[in-house]
Amino acid sequence: MGDSIQRILIIKPSSMGDIIHGLLIAEAIKEQLPNVSIDWVVRREFSELVEAASVIDHTYIFERSAGVGGFMRLMREVRTQRYDAVLDLQGLARTGILTLAAHAKRKLGRSDARECAWIGYNEKTPALPAGQPPHAVKILAAFLSMLGLREELPSSLTFDIPKVSVALQEPVSGGKRVVLFPESRRAEKNWMGYEPLTRWLLEQSNVGQVVWCGHVPFEASEPLEDERLINLTGKTGIDQLPELLNAADCVVSNDSGPMHLAAALGRPLVTLFGPTAPERFGPYPPVAARQRVIRRADGDMSSITLEEVGEAVCSMLEV
């Protein structure tokens, strides 16, 4: 069945972590169908990351702020092309409508789609098992078997990536580079200990550089002057994250998009979970040797201690 597929459209406008999961599916498709062309519908704020992905040929920009008029323009643009299959990985009203409007023989959607998105599908993934749902990536992997492909996911993602900055490219005098992402999209998923963690890391003899990164600017509450600290928060584009993460000896992050990207790139990772379940939304692929997940099942991120995180970082720096 897969051999007859030449062109695929993936609809996954947001969010960053979900897009990373979708890119794992796209990479798996490309590995098994190397001549297939894959296009993608994505919101503008995430478009540079998708455009940097080596397996994506073209992107359509979903301008959420453009309202109904912008959505109609997007539909017209999509309808100028013909596809063998459309994959709605999002499963919401607008993506279902877009799937319905697309010219394609096969229109595949999620069995757990909401907002009547199913109206746009002529095929759906198998129903989810009762009880604890599987990891979000495993849910998407069902699209592979629907295409007649093996549910085998890549060990890492590949990107055509720009350089981040001169400061990051400088040698780090033999020490390790630790990259911290202090923010998440939801305040309740944030750990407030990144500043004391930074001070602790800079006291360690094997740490040669600490990099703060994130969309929102982050500043120390008290002066923290050390040439080994580089603050890139608010200064890097989303398409620069793969290069930044690949340069890290260890990444520390809340449950966030950069965490999912670090996991997909196979970087040593310490990730902090509170209100969300790592069984469903944790690092993927899960590799115990290079990942440490620190969780508070009661959702109280404030109870995660500096000692716990520091010990986990030390273990990852030895990987």
- Given a contact cutoff of 8 angstroms between Cβ atoms, the answer to whether 161 and 240 are in contact is yes
pLDDT by 10s per residue, the chain, length 319: 566 899 999 999 999 999 999 999 999 999 999 999 999 999 999 999 999 999 999 999 999 899 999 999 999 999 999 999 999 999 999 999 999 999 999 999 999 999 999 999 999 999 998 888 899 999 999 999 999 999 999 989 999 876 555 456 564 577 899 999 998 888 899 999 999 999 999 999 899 999 999 988 888 888 888 889 999 999 888 999 999 999 999 999 999 999 999 999 999 999 999 999 999 999 999 998 999 999 999 999 999 999 999 999 999 998 6
Specify the pLDDT at position 275.
94
Taken in order 21, 115, 187, 234, is the CA torsion positive or negative?
positive
- Given a contact cutoff of 8 angstroms between Cβ atoms, the answer to whether 251 and 266 are in contact is no
91 Rama class: left (phi>0) / alpha (psi -120 to 50) / beta = left
Taken in order 48, 49, 53, 59, is the CA torsion positive or negative?
negative
CA distances from 147 to 107, 151, 165 (A): 11, 10, 41
Structure token digits, residue 129: 């098992």
The whole-angstrom separation of Cα 129 and Cα 61 is: 34
Instruction: Let me know if 296 is exposed, middle or buried by CB neighbors in 10 A (0-12, 13-18, 19+).
Output: middle
Specify the pLDDT at position 236.
86
Specify the pLDDT at position 219.
85
> Which domains are assigned to the chain?
2-146 (3.40.50.2000), 166-317 (3.40.50.2000)
- ∠ CA(251), CA(193), CA(176), 5° rounding? 35
Q: Residue 132 belongs to what H/E stretch?
A: none
CA distances from 296 to 36, 196, 198, 276 (A): 43, 20, 22, 9
- Given a contact cutoff of 8 angstroms between Cβ atoms, the answer to whether 18 and 50 are in contact is no
Specify the pLDDT at position 159.
93
Specify the pLDDT at position 223.
81
- Given a contact cutoff of 8 angstroms between Cβ atoms, the answer to whether 62 and 13 are in contact is yes
Strand partners, 176: 207
3-state DSSP percent of the chain in helix, strand and coil, to 5: 40, 20, 40
Specify the pLDDT at position 101.
98
Q: Which string of DSSP letters, residue by residue, matches 16-27?
A: HHHHHHHHHHHH
- ∠ CA(2), CA(29), CA(33), 5° rounding? 55
Range list of H helices, the chain: 16-32, 44-52, 67-78, 93-101, 136-146, 166-169, 194-202, 241-246, 257-264, 278-281, 306-317
